Structure 1
């Protein structure tokens, strides 16, 4: 729902990946952003209108993304998709980060556009310690990107996991993500992404910002 720049790009990527896609937008001119060879459905209507969603094929949908430029429209559409039509995979774009946190606790995954953009810019300007990249809907588990002391270079993934009591989800090396074996070693300039309990993010960062050794591990 929503055929702005994000919605059009998302629709194109999904179709290029072999998925069937339907796009709903109340402005027919918005569909001009879609590629000329876009083969999916175009439905001109409010994105939370039940008849329009039915026309778009929501009863057979695997996932629904509400990415219009209005927080209220996005969250209403997301709730209709989940609560009325039973779509299991629903996400809503939200500009107000305070609202995003509320809706995440209600079980509706959100992307808080303004906060995410600001965090990404700051992260590229200076080291900032642990940076949360994703939280599960209950906010109990987070995927975080951590600043790692250079002393960890050459250490095995297994040792990082043991010291931090966290799981290394993947590494970014030379701009490309990779899932490492537990006996693989950290290389210079690697970025380490870990799955951790949200309430332990600070503790994990404190461990990894120090060089490895007995004092770097938790009791």
Structure 2
């Protein structure tokens, strides 16, 4: 996956290093030439100097072929403009942004751009959202160790008891929305096509939950 990250501060550099070790193609943009010093020695990605919202800079960084874009600078205005450019001009499939001032959250929401805050939580949450994009995070607890995520049940899992998805200490079905009505699943209730299920899941178990659903999602 090619990921363009603007802002090589603590969040951007840490996220870039983590994704790079997992084999992703990482392109970093920062207006400070010395910002690359935060990257680990031997970082395999590329580093580009320039403004995060300058189209020539973004194009040099490869935004035209990007699978994801992360705005992680220290300025909300820059993050908003660059994220909007990535989403609306270059049609990048996944666009995420860091949020510093909670009062600006409505701006991101109106633009349809998920936003996250705080350094430690931001790195963890952005990483999860990039790699587990078919699972929609609804709520996070602590520093993101436990999440509530929602997903439509694939047709091939219809008929299985909802308790079959439970994994002790990792995954628990806590709610189901069926035909527009929310239900707390009773013991023995089976999944039906079109069910929207809410899972409480450990962040470390997102891959396992995704494995239950990937066959139908085709990813």
* TM-score category (smaller protein): 0.5 to 0.7
Task: Indicate the residue corresponding to 1:132 in structure 2.
Answer: 139
Give 1:109's match in structure 2, choosing from 114, 122, 140.
Answer: 114
TM-score by structure 2 length? 0.58
**Residue 47 of structure 1 aligns with which residue?**
52
Residue by residue over 1:152-192, the C-alpha shift from the partner in whole angstroms, topping out at 9 and shown as x without a partner, is xxxx55985465267342443xx953649xxxxxxxxxxxx
1:69 matched to which residue of 2? 74
Q: Distance in 2 between matches of 1:30 and 1:69?
A: 13
Q: What are the residue-to-residue correspondences of 1:1-219 with 2, within 5 Å?
A: 1-113=6-118, 132-133=139-140, 143=149, 156=163, 160-161=174-175, 164=184, 167-172=197-202, 176-177=204-205, 179=209
Kindly state the Cα deviation for residue 88 of structure 1 after the two structures are TM-superposed. Answer: 1.4
Q: From the CA coordinates, give the structure whose radius of gyration is larger.
A: 1
Alignment match, 2:192: none
Q: Give unmatched runs, 5+ long, in structure 1.
A: 118-130, 135-141, 145-155, 181-219
170 and 47 in structure 1: CA distance in 2 versus 1, 3 angstrom threshold:
same
In 1, the alpha carbon distance for the partners of 2:8 and 2:204 equals 29
Distance in 1, matches of 2:53 and 2:85, equals 7
Tell me the matched-pair count. Answer: 149
Conserved? CA contact 1:58–1:81, under 8 Å? yes
The TM-score, its normalising length taken from structure 1, stands at 0.58
Q: Which runs of 5+ in 2 are unaligned?
A: 1-5, 123-137, 142-147, 151-162, 167-171, 177-182, 186-195, 211-219
Q: 2:204, 2:21 → 1: CA distance?
A: 21
Structure 1 consecutive aligned stretches of length 4 or more whose deviation exceeds 6 Å: none
**Equivalent position SS for 2:53:** coil
